[in-house]
Amino acid sequence: MAVGQKLYEGKAKILYATDDPNILLTHFKDDATAFNAQKKGSITGKGEFNCAISTHLFKLMEANGVPTHFIDRPSANEMRVKSVKILPLEVVVRNIAAGNLCQQTGLKLGTILTPPLVEFYYKNDELGDPLLTFDRLQLLDLATPDQVDQLIEMASRINEILTNFFQQCGITLVDFKLEFGCVSSGVAQTEGSPRQIILADEISPDTCRLWNQAESDPDKRVMDKDRFRRDLGNVEDAYRQVMERVLNQTV
């Protein structure tokens, strides 16, 4: 497969065209950013760790009937994916209060959320990815009411699958962010015909909060990007540890 033109370079990944218009190549970078790119750095090996973890978790999703953009992993930090139109939304699922939720509501870190919270943020760097209401989703024409229902259903199902999986790894899934894309539902795509929504982007310690169940100390237990965000140190070790535990569990 020939790698073509660079289509997009994001904070953590680069997207390339291939000789097949339906397939793109994602290159996972070691670069790390936080707080809307105000903090920048690099985490050695992150590209490979996140590519391996995402690959395994996308396979887990497919095995459980959740459609994803994943095709295969041709090299350590590259993933071939289906070409989709990414919805400009970040769907965040929260099982335990942390991060923004605590900052914006005053909820105590660690508060168990029953049922889990599903939130929508507008994927827009200039605006700082604001939290959206159902009405704002309609106002901005970001998703139809049916699509919102479908996204909530998919995000909740993904949460069930991931929570159980990470539990087997001795890891608590605190919260995570998902992105979805639309693909044509049939070969002959016509104007107005329904488009299938599938899971896209990545699932990794960059996009999840993961707490080591073997540690009770609130800083030591952190196995995700909060180690980078909060300068907790040992970021590479934490990502590697997540990868080893994830790959150790069969899908």
Give dist(CA 251, CA 43) in Å, integer.
27
Smaller CB separation from ligand C5P, 78 or 175 = 175
Contacts with 216 (C-beta within 8 Å, 6 or more apart), sequence order? none
Choices 78-86, 143-151, 153-161, 206-214 (CB under 6 A): range interacting with ligand C5P: 206-214
* Smallest distance, ligand C5P to C-beta of residue 181, A: 16
Which CB atom, from 16 or from 211, has the smaller least distance to ligand C5P?
211
Measured CA to CA, the distance from residue 166 to residue 212 in angstroms comes to 10
Strand runs labelled E in the chain: 3-9, 13-18, 23-28, 31-34, 39-42, 70-75, 78-82, 85-86, 89-96, 112-122, 131-132, 171-184, 195-200, 208-212
Nearer to ligand C5P, 48 or 201 (CB): 201
Q: For residues 128-147, which are near ligand C5P according to CB under 6 A?
A: 129
Residue 68 touches ligand C5P, criterion: CB under 6 A: no
**160: exposed, middle or buried (Cβ count in 10 Å: 0-12, 13-18, 19+):** exposed
Please report whether residue 209 would count as binding ligand C5P according to CB under 6 A: yes
CB of 176 to ligand C5P, least distance (A): 5
Does residue 225 interact with ligand C5P by CB under 6 A?
A: yes
Minimum CB distance to ligand C5P smaller for 198 or for 208: 208
By CB under 6 A, name the binding residues for ligand C5P.
Answer: 90, 92, 99-101, 129, 175-177, 207-209, 225
